[in-house]
Amino acid sequence: MSSLGSLYQEVVLDHSRRPRNFRALEGANRKADGYNPLCGDKVTIYLRLEDGRVADISFQGSGCAISTASASILTETLKGKTEQEVEALFKRFHDLVTGETRDESDEPDLGKLEVFSGVSEFPARVKCATLSWHTLRAALKGQGGQVSTESDGSGQGSVGSGQGRSE
């Protein structure tokens, strides 16, 4: 394994063992649950949006190292971002873990999320890495129910019915 690969593995293990922002979020005005039935990963994303910006974000759940680390790094990365910036990062991250390539000249920098670049070599783990992201999208859209990694055909996971806004 290359030294860069070792570093990436260390970052994933650190975030898996000591996840950041792992708590229910007091004052959250959006919330969504996600589930990966193939792996058993479960995640709840809590958001507090203020003026179209992520004022605070946290998560709770259980899952494999990749799922937990992805949710942890997601929460660190997205604080303070606008909804448009979050969507751009989602697309860029999804491309990274699925091995998609496109012109990146105007794409946002992934920063620490780059540690998931090797996930594209393991297709079964893509759903682990993207579960929290699909759940985040449902929370942003105010969709409740449960997001599943088992696609509804749109390539974006399926979402159950409900409101998704915390009262």
Sequence-ordered strand ranges (E) for the chain: 30-36, 41-50, 53-62, 146-148, 158-159
Q: Residue 152's pLDDT is what?
A: 52
Helix, strand, coil percent content, the chain, rounded in steps of 5: 45, 20, 35
Predicted confidence at residue 107, as pLDDT, reads 72
Please give the model's pTM, rounded to 2 decimal places: 0.84
Q: Which segments in the chain show pLDDT lower than 50?
A: 153-167
What does the block give as tokens for 15?
A: 């975030």
Gap between the Cα atoms of 49 and 158, Å rounded: 23
DSSP per-residue letters across 85-129: HHHHHHHHHHHHHHT-----TTSPP-GGGGGGGGGGG-HHHHHHH
CATH of domain 3-159: 3.90.1010.10
Extents of the domains making up the chain: 3-159
Q: Report the share of the chain in percent with pLDDT over 70.
A: 84
pLDDT number for residue 150: 85
Position 155 scores a pLDDT of: 41
